A = this chain, B = another copy of it.
């Protein structure tokens, strides 16, 4: 090889070696996050746990990240979206239930009487959930939930509910997975309402979705065909102290990262924080009434009070939606 060709080849080689670094520098994994302490705390954590030479290194199989859903990965106003589904189902099923015209809380739903509905409290909500989420096979329910999520529209944004997922959180999920994390949803919402669409929307497969569940029973039909029947009985409420309990039951490992937005996530964050080694605890604080909503301590959904105090006291990461997120929804 002539010395001129050698120089060219060497230049070529140097360029090729640089390509990955150039690509890395040019591809920001978190483009919807403004630069600042919040974003830096995320990046610093991921760099620490993936760096073999760092004392905080975490082996890939232990990189478990758990996320609340309502208010953390998508919006939850003016009512939890799974509850909007229940109300829509009451209306759809009403012709088969003439007694609902005179029975609360069903009457309130059919009359659009939100005041009476609100007054029916948790008992009324459970009645509505049992009447709409149970009494069918698991396959039938999956179809009902899939159809609703494909067609229903959010009242404020006039868009499918799945358009109301937070773009910065989608980026965070993908960034974690690209760094060897296994991402889970751990939600107070009912699990089979979420599983039909979490893979498409969040890249999280059904087997990594944990939620509130109803008792299910196995039945072998007269035709020899088995089915799983959803019974009108709550199996487990995956909220508050139920979250660490279910994380242990389903995953069997303690998360190294957990993200929530309300007091219902408080114990999940405490449980995550109490493990050994590097930890990341995050809260989404809804502070942007213009682009999304602003609420915390007094809210009827996603109430954030004690967990916010503990986060401030212990230095957990609190995302200020308004200042930390360049973009909230992909459609903006």
Contact surface of A with B, Cβ cutoff 8 Å: 61, 64, 138, 182, 191-192, 195, 199, 205-207, 209, 213, 216-218, 220, 225-226, 228, 235, 241-242, 244-245, 248-253, 267, 270-271, 274
Contacts and interface: CB of A to CB of B under 8 A. Distances in A.
Contacts of A205: 61
A88 B126 CA distance: 45
Given A226-B271, A249-B213, A218 B191 contact: no
Contacts of A209: 252
B252 A250 contact: no
The 8 closest A-B pairs by CB, nearest first: A206-B252, A218-B241, A207-B251, A195-B252, A226-B270, A216-B245, A218-B244, A226-B271
Given A61-B199, A271-B226, A218 B206 contact: no
Given A218-B241, A226-B267, A235-B249, 6 more contacts: A207-B250, A216-B248, A216-B249, A218-B271, A220-B267, A220-B270
A252 B218 contact: no
A225 B274 contact: yes
Contact of A191 (B61, B192, B252): B252
A251 B206 contact: yes
Copies in the complex: 2
A213 B236 CA distance: 13
A228 B245 contact: yes
A241 B228 CA distance: 10
Contacts of A248: 138, 216, 228
Contact of A226 (B192, B244, B251): B244
A253 B138 contact: no
A64 B209 CA distance: 16
Contacts of A242: 218
A218 B248 CA distance: 10
Contacts of A61: 199, 205
A220 B192 CA distance: 30
17 contacts: A61-B205, A64-B207, A138-B248, A191-B249, A195-B252, A207-B253, A216-B248, A217-B245, A218-B242, A218-B271, A225-B274, A226-B244, A226-B267, A226-B270, A228-B244, A228-B245, A235-B249
Nearest to A271: B226
A101 to B, nearest CB: 34
Contact of A245 (B182, B192, B207, B218): B218
A248 B220 CA distance: 16
A252 B197 CA distance: 12
